Structure 1
């Protein structure tokens, strides 16, 4: 365009993308190779924060059983147990989640499934699924 070229009223830009569900939300995902900023999975971050808070409450003696704490929090003890397992994740995995560097397959639903207790095995298993 030059200075004498009129500015068009409408400009159309084609951006290929797809909509994916992530953490209960819909998110726009750009195609492979496109640079896209990673956002923290807020659902996963919140679950990690809860897990470590609950662990601290149990270790301090504020609550003596998971059932007692679950009743106070108003959630099922089985769900609390699954979330508390997140405190067993390898520090590298937790750090990757906070740094938004975890793979797209590392979701809360995925981490609530049983995972190995050995940190090296966790990293191998999670890197295999991404």
Structure 2
């Protein structure tokens, strides 16, 4: 959706609204106008059309921002791994019990520590491929290879091969 405002006399008025379906969220300044584009979904309900704004995670990713839920989960994974490595909890099940969380969820989150370092870095910097988010990553744990080059291929990262 694009909105142009006239701020004359200190009272902003909305002059024009243009809706573009399927666009990425972005914002820029053109002259004295600030233009913001927001991706919207249009759903039909009975005889009406509803404009559905993106979820915060979708909006963040569409604008090229950070995937905050994935970053928080990665932070938990490495923190929990440190607790286990330091011996504060003998097993992931004991850690889950202490945190009052499901052991399966804790084990699933801990598997994120096996991602290639450059994949973790790309996620922290918001440079991961668009389809990669926490939900898609969670669904791939059993299929996620241990080899880092294979992980890169499976998750949509560019893999450079060295030739002699």
- Number of aligned residue pairs: 113
Q: How does 1:29-44 map to 2 (within 5 A)?
A: 37-44=63-70
The alignment status of 1:102 with 2:123, answered yes or no, reads: no
Unaligned runs of 5+ in 1: 1-6, 30-35
- Listed one character per residue, the Cα deviations across residues 73-94 of structure 1 (whole Å, up to 9, x for unaligned) are 1111111111000000011111
- SS of the equivalent of 1:13 reads strand
Unaligned runs of 5+ in 2: 1-7, 21-38, 42-52, 158-164
| Structure number with higher strand proportion | 2
Partners of 1:68 and 1:106 lie apart in 2 by 30
Partners of 2:80 and 2:14 lie apart in 1 by 54
- SS of the equivalent of 2:156 reads helix
Where relative contact order (Cα < 8 A, 6+ residues apart) is larger, the structure is: 1
Alignment partner, residue 155 of structure 2 = 126
RMSD, matched Cα: 2.3
Tell me: CA distance 1:89–1:10, structure 2 relative to 1, closer, same or farther (3 Å). Answer: closer
